[in-house]
């Protein structure tokens, strides 16, 4: 892909991420939030806006939002309230969404992104705000067996969402994807959301426009909000497409941000294009006003401090600690941390057990992760406990096994539930004693005078031919030991 540095414009992207919080019940009612139930079976009078019903805030949803806001380094004001955002749509039976307008529960935070491969410089992406709101229902168009009808499912109505809004600090599609990946990781470490895009528990809209340098100064292209992106990869593609489209439209029409109101475009994943949808409402069109049915929420300083204290170790801090404590590279620390907290914990136990972080990191990346990928299992269900794998790695360090034979033992431990020693015994693999090794090497040298002559003549590589023969005689020998011993014996002759 073409680097952004070569582009004749700067891309400015701000993201709006809606995260479904992991609560059993809705934000203002006791209906279940479980995914996949039959339509309209998880609704209450509050969710569907029956007159006389009254909302009551789900305290757990607010606590999860507080944790997330704190982890995003946000200011958390002492006082927050609820507002009604009015609009008409069939999936919104109350005629308004309960959201937060001028006094959101958190604001002015940041999340740092970086790329271990160096595609962009590490940067802090500033967060404008994160506020709580309820989800709407779902319109299902033409989904019923090809009939041209529309139906409404209100199961989602009232589900708690945290809307996280960033400043336009992202300067490329890659940075936008990196932000989303890091945010998702953070949310999983905090255990506040399932982040399942297919089930709609993480939804992304992107505001994008360009700054183009011209002879008369820099111009800004009209602002576009891109919707309907159903994976991080489609966010990346949609932004790359949209940036180029805006550049071409500007070259054709010369129209700038001052000439055109903000537009909404939808990403068409099949055609890989964005398509115009509608001109976006201004916030004044929503006629926000405080919801008279709900009390404001007060967060005491002690409460906020306690939340900040109990966030646990978050991905950025964990990466730095793994680098410092186990002497792994930034890249390795990234791989371990990005797989989630349980894998990072497995790595730490393995590294402590075998005493070599680099070796532990290599085995996890090459063997453990590959196995997990093949079986589709999670690390929690991995058949070799870290302490057992550490024994195997120690056996490699002590020269009892070379890596190739250690992999065979690893395979046996995977299926057999055996310790390293038991698996080696079962496979007939044992350490070759040094006297045994010397005897074997002497025998080989006697049988191969030409190789001996070659080595003496300076062709040290010739000794390689003996390794295959050695392994035929005794499959347990370590190739490096055979090479070293043979060279030693020849030199001593």
Give me the residues that bind Mn ion (CB under 5 A), please: 163
Pick 163 or 175: Cβ nearer Mn ion: 163
Q: Minimum Å distance from CB 133 to Mn ion?
A: 5
Vertex 329: Cα angle to 325 and 330 (nearest 5): 95
Distance between CA atoms of 295 and 187, rounded to whole angstroms? 28
To the nearest whole angstrom, how small is the minimum distance from the Cβ of residue 154 to Mn ion? 18
Closest-approach residue to Mn ion (CB): 163
Least Cβ distance, residue 98 to Mn ion (angstroms): 11
Positions of E strands within 29-174: 79-80, 83-86, 96-99, 106-113, 123-134, 138-141, 150-153, 160-166
Q: Is 254 in contact with 222 (CB distance < 8 Å)?
A: no
Residue 301 is inside which H or E element, if any? helix 301-309
User: In the complex, what is the shortest distance from the CB of residue 427 to Mn ion, in angstroms, rounded to a whole number?
Assistant: 59
CB of 85 to Mn ion, least distance (A): 8
Specify the residue, 97 or 339, whose C-beta has the smaller distance to Mn ion.
97
Nearer to Mn ion, 163 or 169 (CB): 163
Q: Nearest 5°: phi and psi at 196? A: -90, 110
Closer CB to Mn ion, 83 or 153, in the complex: 83
Q: Give the nearest distance from C-beta 131 to Mn ion in angstroms.
A: 8
Residues, the chain, total?
493
- DSSP states of 177-234: HHHHHHHHHHHHHHT-----TTTTSEEEEEEEEEEEEETTEEEEPPPEEEEEE-SHHH
Nearer to Mn ion, 16 or 402 (CB): 16
Q: Please state, in angstroms and as integers, the Cα–Cα distance from residue 368 to each residue in 336, 358, 372, 395, following that order.
A: 11, 14, 6, 17
* Nearer to Mn ion among residue 47 and residue 163 (C-beta): 163
Residue 18 beta carbon to Mn ion: minimum distance, rounded to whole angstroms: 6
Which residue from 481, 415, 9 is spatially nearest to 243, judged by alpha carbons? 9
Nearest residue (CB) to Mn ion, 23 versus 246: 23
């Amino acid at each position: 892909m073409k680097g952004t540095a070569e582009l004749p414009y700067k891309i400015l992207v701000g993201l709006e991420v809606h995260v479904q919080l992991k609560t059993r019940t809705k934000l203002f009612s006791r209906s279940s939030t479980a995914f996949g139930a039959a339509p309209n079976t998880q609704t209450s009078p509050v969710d569907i806006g029956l007159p006389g019903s009254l909302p009551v805030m789900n305290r757990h949803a607010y606590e999860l939002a507080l944790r997330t806001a704190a982890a995003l380094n946000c200011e958390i004001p002492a006082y927050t309230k609820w507002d009604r955002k009015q609009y008409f749509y069939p999936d919104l039976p109350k005629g308004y969404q309960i959201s937060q307008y001028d006094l959101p529960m958190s604001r002015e935070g940041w999340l740092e992104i970086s790329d271990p491969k160096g595609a962009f410089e590490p940067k802090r992406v500033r967060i404008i705000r994160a506020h709580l709101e309820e989800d709407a229902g779902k319109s299902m168009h033409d989904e019923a067996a090809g009939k041209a009808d529309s139906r409404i499912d209100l199961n989602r109505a009232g589900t708690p969402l945290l809307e996280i809004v960033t400043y336009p600090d992202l300067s490329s599609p890659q940075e936008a994807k990196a932000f989303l990946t890091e945010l998702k990781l953070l949310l999983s470490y905090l255990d506040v959301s399932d982040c399942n895009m297919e089930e709609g528990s993480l939804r992304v809209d992107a505001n994008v426009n360009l700054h183009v340098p011209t002879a008369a100064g820099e111009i800004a292209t009209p602002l576009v909000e891109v919707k309907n992106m159903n994976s991080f990869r489609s966010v990346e593609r949609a932004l790359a497409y949209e940036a180029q489209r805006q550049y071409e439209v500007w070259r054709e029409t010369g129209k700038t941000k001052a000439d055109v109101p903000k537009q909404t475009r939808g990403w068409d994943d099949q055609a890989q294009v964005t398509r115009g949808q509608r001109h976006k409402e201004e916030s004044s069109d929503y006629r926000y006003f405080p919801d008279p049915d709900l009390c404001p929420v007060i967060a005491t300083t002690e409460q906020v401090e306690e939340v900040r204290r109990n966030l646990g170790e978050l991905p950025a801090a964990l990466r730095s600690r793994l680098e410092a404590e186990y002497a792994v590279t930034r890249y390795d620390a990234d791989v371990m941390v990005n797989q989630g907290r349980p894998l990072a914990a497995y790595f730490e136990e393995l590294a402590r057990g075998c005493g070599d972080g680099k070796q532990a990191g290599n085995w996890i990346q090459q063997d453990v992760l590959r196995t997990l990928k093949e079986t589709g299992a999670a690390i929690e269900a991995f058949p070799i406990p870290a302490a057992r794998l550490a024994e195997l790695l120690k056996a490699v360090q002590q020269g009892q096994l070379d890596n190739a034979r250690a992999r065979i033992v690893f395979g046996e431990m995977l299926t057999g539930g055996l310790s390293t020693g038991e698996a080696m015994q079962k496979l007939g693999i044992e350490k070759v004693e040094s006297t045994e090794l010397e005897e074997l090497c002497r025998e080989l040298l006697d049988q191969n005078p030409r190789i001996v002559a070659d080595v003496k003549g300076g062709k040290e590589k010739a000794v390689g031919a003996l390794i295959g023969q050695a392994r035929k005689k005794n499959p347990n020998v370590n190739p490096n030991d055979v090479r070293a011993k043979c060279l030693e014996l020849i030199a001593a002759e």
